[in-house]
Amino acid sequence: MRERSSSHLIDSYGRYMKKLRLSLLDACNFRCVYCMPEKAQFTPSKDYLKTEDLLRIVKNFVSFGVEEVRLTGGEPTLRKDWLVVAQKLSELPLRKLGLTTNGFNLHKSIEDLSRTQCQYINISIDSLRKEKFNSITRRPFYDDVMKSIFMAKEFGFNLKLNVVVMKSVNDDEVIDFVRFSQKYDIEVRFLETMNIGVARPHFEKWFIPAQSLINNIEAHFDWTKRDREADDTAFCYDLSGGGRIGFIASESQSFCQGCSRLRLDAKGVLRPCLFKEQGLSFKDISLEDYPKALSETMRLKPIEREKELAQPMYQVGG
């Protein structure tokens, strides 16, 4: 692949924004307690970017230097044409195309997805116990998620499981998840609870720093730390005897100074940061106006970690 970069994607701190989180919609069929209220308000489908507009915008971003795209939501597989989006994006010269999903629908389309360039899948699962899973998600879809996990493994995807760890909720399953990783050779990533949206009132009681999890795991397992890129969000370990464990310590060990990510929401607004509600709409602008709009977005990107965000997580894009 040819080397691509653009001064319009480099901010005043010298960070190159090469990764795009692409929210296909904000709707979700789960109600995870740290993400959204039971009675969530979603954007009307008529206000989402039309498929042709979405693809045009991403194609233009790629021409300016974006190298990696990850489909997110809400739950991206709830969009009727999500697979078409993945197929069309596969035609672009991307280094990596991925999907983050709750896994509910994935097993229904896994074979078709395997024929695209979207080969990186993150599935969110916060408990290996059905009753607790149902309690956290407030939905009885455990079997569907597990089916998707094992089918994604069977079809050879680069698969990771995302686990948001909450004190006195699911932190007693950390070792179980490590053993799951060893047994099935599936990478598990533990995410710190974030001070965002509906989680804010519970943040102090739920939050566990990644280092506490590391100390716990080290008392039971041998592992080797992997090398990481400057803009990686996770730091990861290879377990002796198989399995891989990662940590995304966005609260206690923020990675803002090396961040290379932008976020396009379902309505076409490009946000410079997960914690910034400000952004610029690319829905109707011409290609000639992209340099100016991208440069303005770069100026909005912070270098230091913001303390909190009032907006719910599902509206931002995971």
For the chain, domains (ranges, CATH) are 7-163+258-316 (3.20.20.70)
The pair of structure tokens assigned to 141 is 């879809």
Residues 210-216 have a mean pLDDT of 97
CB 143 within 8 A of CB 133: no
Distance CA 180, CA 187 (A): 9
pLDDT band at 276 (very low <50, low <70, confident <90, very high): confident
130: CB partners within 8 A, 6+ apart: 142, 143
For 142-194, write each residue's pLDDT tens digit: 999 999 999 999 999 999 999 999 999 999 999 999 999 999 999 999 999 99
Q: For residue 248, give the 3-state DSSP assignment.
A: strand
- pLDDT confidence of residue 304: 85
Distance CA 231, CA 271 (A): 18
- pLDDT confidence of residue 79: 97
- pLDDT confidence of residue 306: 77
Distance CA 130, CA 136 (A): 10
Does residue 97 surpass a pLDDT of 70? yes
Does residue 219 surpass a pLDDT of 90? yes
The pair of structure tokens assigned to 61 is 């971003």
- pLDDT confidence of residue 1: 41
| Maximum mean pLDDT: which of 209-218, 276-285, 304-313 | 209-218
For 48-83, write each residue's pLDDT tens digit: 999 999 999 999 999 999 999 999 999 999 999 999
Task: Give CA separation, 152 vs 27, 81, 145, in Å.
Answer: 23, 20, 11
On the CB side of 312, CA atoms within 13 Å amount to 21
pLDDT band at 275 (very low <50, low <70, confident <90, very high): confident
Structure-model confidence comparison of residues 192 and 276, the more confident one: 192
pLDDT band at 2 (very low <50, low <70, confident <90, very high): very low
The pair of structure tokens assigned to 69 is 């795209």
For 140-151, write each residue's pLDDT tens digit: 999 999 999 999
- pLDDT confidence of residue 317: 67
- pLDDT confidence of residue 305: 80
- pLDDT confidence of residue 282: 97
The pair of structure tokens assigned to 93 is 């010269």
CB 99 within 8 A of CB 122: yes
Residues 88-115 have a mean pLDDT of 98
- pLDDT confidence of residue 307: 77
